[in-house]
Structure 1
Amino acid sequence: MKNKLLMLTVAMSCVFGGNAMALTKAEYKTQKDQISADYKVNRDKCVTLKDNAKDICASEAKGMEKVAKAELEAQYKPSAKHTRDVAMAKGDAAYDTAKEKCDDLAGNAKDVCVKDAKAAHVKAKEDAKVAKVAADTTVNKAEKVNEAKKDANAEKREAEYKAAKERCDSLAGAAKDTCQADAKAKFGM
């Protein structure tokens, strides 16, 4: 009897605990409005800045808003898609801000910065795709996850190779050739 009572208590706490985590429509709307208000405050802080610092600040504010909205949606309607959307929003926000930061650079340093940002963005996107496939509960899940990981690794390697190749462009002659050969060997291109 004690075991049945204990199991019933645990089961009921899980049921009520799950409902406590979900948002009501009113809570969702309130939090969504708060996210918009926070964005406006953060964006307005950027007005006093100049040049690229202003652009970086605006990009960070917009990124925080996108991530917060994606997280709110994932909390309101939990699903593998919304979890992936959160990861994508974080990756996109980081990429957009990194590109803005690259604008302070010039020449090859800027090109390398942009390629590195792109490689990080590709990694975030591919990791999100793998996570979404891993969350799938259909038949052949393991096979699909392995295929997604294989595709993701190929995309990441290619993006990292492009960034490494861009670093080689600052060199000349034999040093450049050696650098490019090393990059090809390292990333299997």
Structure 2
Amino acid sequence: MVRSATHLCAARDASLVRFDGELVHLAATSAVESERLAALQRHFPTPPGRTRALCRAIVDGAVIHIADVARDPEYPQDHARAVGLASILVVPMLRESTPIGALGVSRSVPEPFSHNQITLLETFADQAVIAIENVRLLTDLQARTQELTRSVDQLTALGEVGRAMSSTLGLEGVGALAMAPA
């Protein structure tokens, strides 16, 4: 997904982050330049805040479009210069209006992203939310299936014990009847 977003948005790279309610975690990136990759890895996990566009989209729950990072007073300029970051587009990933992550693309030249590119990235983010939700549902289903399997195993064992006890009691009962006076 990040490679497709990079290509279709004419970006240098793309990154996807997850938000667990406390920290923002880097989940995927198409960054291949060692400095850019190292910078991304160094900054995550992190609490959400306004200094990183990926985190800002989570905090605001809105699209963050910075056509020229050098003109954004909230973005750390030393970081932008160090990794050659000039423009950024980030879309929050929302599940029922709650942020669960963000998908962002960046360029090394200060150039705005087009309306079509913004719409495309929003579509990718929506698809990512669906995929993440499907994984969560599958994980929940697998956990429930394991619980049910354990319950069935326990009931089977109890049934076997019950049958064994019944057969034992049955023999004792027959013995008692045989010994009883007529």
> TM-score normalised to the size of structure 1?
0.25
Higher strand share: 2
Question: Whose relative contact order is higher, 1 or 2, with alpha carbons under 8 Å and at least 6 apart?
Answer: 2
More helix by share: 1
Bigger radius of gyration among the two: 2
